[in-house]
Amino acid sequence: MSDTQATEAEKQTDLAAADEPTGAIENAAAADLADSAGSSDSAGSSDSAGSAGSSGSAGSVESAETRDGDLADVEPAKAEKGEKKLRVRQLEREGEVAADFLETLLDIADLDGDIDVDVDGDRAAIAIVDSDEGRVPRRLVGADGKVLEALQELTRLAVQAETGERSRLMLDIAGHRAQRRSALVELAKVAIAEVKESGTKRSLEPMSAFERKVVHDEVAAAGLVSESEGVDPHRHIVILPV
């Protein structure tokens, strides 16, 4: 081999030796980059998983709280509805007992009349009305409804004896209370107008508890105030100006 060829061979060997570390460095750098990317991806996945887990957990807690809140609203409503149904059944029972008592009373006295039973607000409402066989004797109402009031008290006592509970049932005979209610409403309207115009209080005639309640309700609806004064049978209503 000539000196020139030997020199060229040595150069090629030196160049190969010089390129080898450079490739190793590049490979190492690439490996480092790959490791860094892998670590970043792992951390990102972990963060995403953690965020998803936290979000899911928060959603579960919120759903549970919403569900508990809805249940808390529903339960009292159900309880109140159940109490109302129970109260209606009790009033219907009062009406049935009262109807039996009054039918027996009419049979004993040999008087005509049919019995209507209803529920009016928080009271059982009983009415003796004209039947196909004949009219209800108006003497069962009496002067100023006094006989009617006495029969109502007897019927309440009969219901209490049967059910063990004090009754507030309302008895009407031959439409007397309905007619009286209409008359009282008109009376109250006139008195209310006078009080509003004059600015002074107005005393009304003595009334029964039923009659006073009708007037009190009408006065309240008109935006005024009324009071009951005196003792029965002279207890009456006083309408006050605003």
- Return the structure tokens found at 188: 């109250």
**For the whole model, what pTM was predicted?**
0.62
Residue type, 7: T
Q: What is the dihedral angle through the alpha carbons of 15, 17, 23, 27, rounded to the nearest 10 degrees?
A: 180
pLDDT tens-digit readout, 61-116: 556 555 666 656 667 777 778 888 888 999 999 999 999 999 999 999 999 999 99
Sign of the C-alpha dihedral computed for residues 145, 146, 149 and 155 taken in this order: negative
Q: What is the distance between the alpha carbons of residues 191 and 196, in angstroms, rounded to a whole number? A: 9
pLDDT tens-digit readout, 130-150: 988 889 999 999 988 899 999
C-beta separation of 167 from 142 below 8 A:
no
**119 closest CA partner among 159, 140, 89:** 89
**210 closest CA partner among 103, 130, 128, 125:** 125
For the chain, list the domains and their CATH numbers. 87-174 (3.30.300.20), 178-240 (3.30.1370.50)
- In 3-state terms, the chain is what percent helix, strand and coil (to 5)? 70, 15, 20
